Amino acid sequence: MPGERRPRLHLFDLDGTLLYGSAASVEISRQLGVDAEIRDLERAFAERKLTPPQFALRACALWSALNDEIVSAAFSAAPWLTGIPEVWAGLRAEGERCAVISLSPDFFVRRLQDWGAEVTHGSRWPEVPRAIPNGSTKYPARPLDPAGILSPSSKVKIAEQLCAQFGLRLEDCVAYGDSLSDAELFAAVPVSVAVNADHHVRSLASHHYTGSDLREAHGLVSAAR
Q: Tens digit of pLDDT for each residue in 46-99?
A: 899 999 999 999 999 999 999 999 999 999 999 999 999 999 999 999 999 999
Q: Which of 149, 163, 150 is nearest to 99 (CA)?
A: 163
- pLDDT score for 38: 96
C-alpha triplet 31, 98, 153: angle, nearest 5°: 75
Length of the chain: 225
> In angstroms, rounded to a whole number, what is the distance separating the alpha carbons of residues 114 and 100?
12
Per-residue confidence at 130, pLDDT binned at 50, 70, 90? confident
> In angstroms, rounded to a whole number, what is the distance separating the alpha carbons of residues 131 and 129?
5
Tell me: pLDDT of 224 over 70: no
Tens of pLDDT, residues 166-217: 999 999 999 999 999 999 999 999 999 999 999 889 999 999 999 999 999 9
Give the burial class of 142: count Cβ atoms within 10 A of its Cβ; 0-12 exposed, 13-18 middle, 19 or more buried: exposed
Indicate the pTM of the whole model.
Answer: 0.94
Q: The domain 9-20+81-224 is classified under which CATH number: 3.40.190.10, 3.20.20.150, 3.30.1330.120, 3.40.50.1000?
A: 3.40.50.1000
DSSP 28-62: HHHHHT-HHHHHHHHHHHHTTSS-HHHHHHHHHHH
Tell me the CA distances in angstroms from 81 to 120, 125, 189, 201, 211, one per residue in order: 17, 25, 23, 19, 8
Task: Report the relative pairing of strands 119-123 and 9-12 from DSSP bridges.
Answer: unpaired
3-state SS assignment for residue 207: strand
